[in-house]
Amino acid sequence: MSIVQTLIYVLCFVGGLVTIIDPPTSIRGAFGSGVTFAWGVFAIIGGLMGAYSAPTGKWLIEKPAIIACGTAITMYAGILVSLHITETGNRIPQLVFVLIGLLHFVNRYWRIKPYSYEPGK
């Protein structure tokens, strides 16, 4: 389970990194580079913290990582909703998969919330 969770954090980091390096045109154009940069930074910080803390069982560090990743995902979900309303095209399929990712982090947070360290580590 720790390996899968670590990979999820690595993917969050990569998503944030590519967002900053080459932001999606439709998002940067509609919301500006500031929002895109902020969303990417949250993903990078959360991804790095989570990739470090998940395999080592340091849940005290993983909790803020979850919040940072969740913030990035929530920002992206809000952008998708806004684009769906204001522009042509269907963004609902993207939104559904983004919300699945967000729910994963909510679930992870509630599972480790009462603990500082993974038992046995």
What band does 117 get if pLDDT is binned at 50, 70 and 90?
confident
Please check whether residue 67 lies inside any domain of the structure. yes
What band does 46 get if pLDDT is binned at 50, 70 and 90?
very high
- Among 37, 55, 47, smallest CA distance to 12 is for 47
Number of domains into which the chain is organized: 1
pLDDT digits (tens, 9 = 90+) for 28-42: 777 778 889 999 999
pLDDT digits (tens, 9 = 90+) for 56-114: 999 999 999 999 999 999 999 999 999 899 888 899 999 999 999 999 999 999 999 99
Please check whether residue 119 lies inside any domain of the structure. no
Please check whether residue 117 lies inside any domain of the structure. no
Its domain, for residue 32, covers: 2-112
Collect contacts of 66-69 with beta carbons under 8 A, ≥24 apart.
Answer: 66/105, 66/108, 66/109, 67/109, 68/42, 68/43, 69/9, 69/12, 69/42, 69/43, 69/105
Tokens 């390996």 belong to which residue?
3
Please check whether residue 121 lies inside any domain of the structure. no
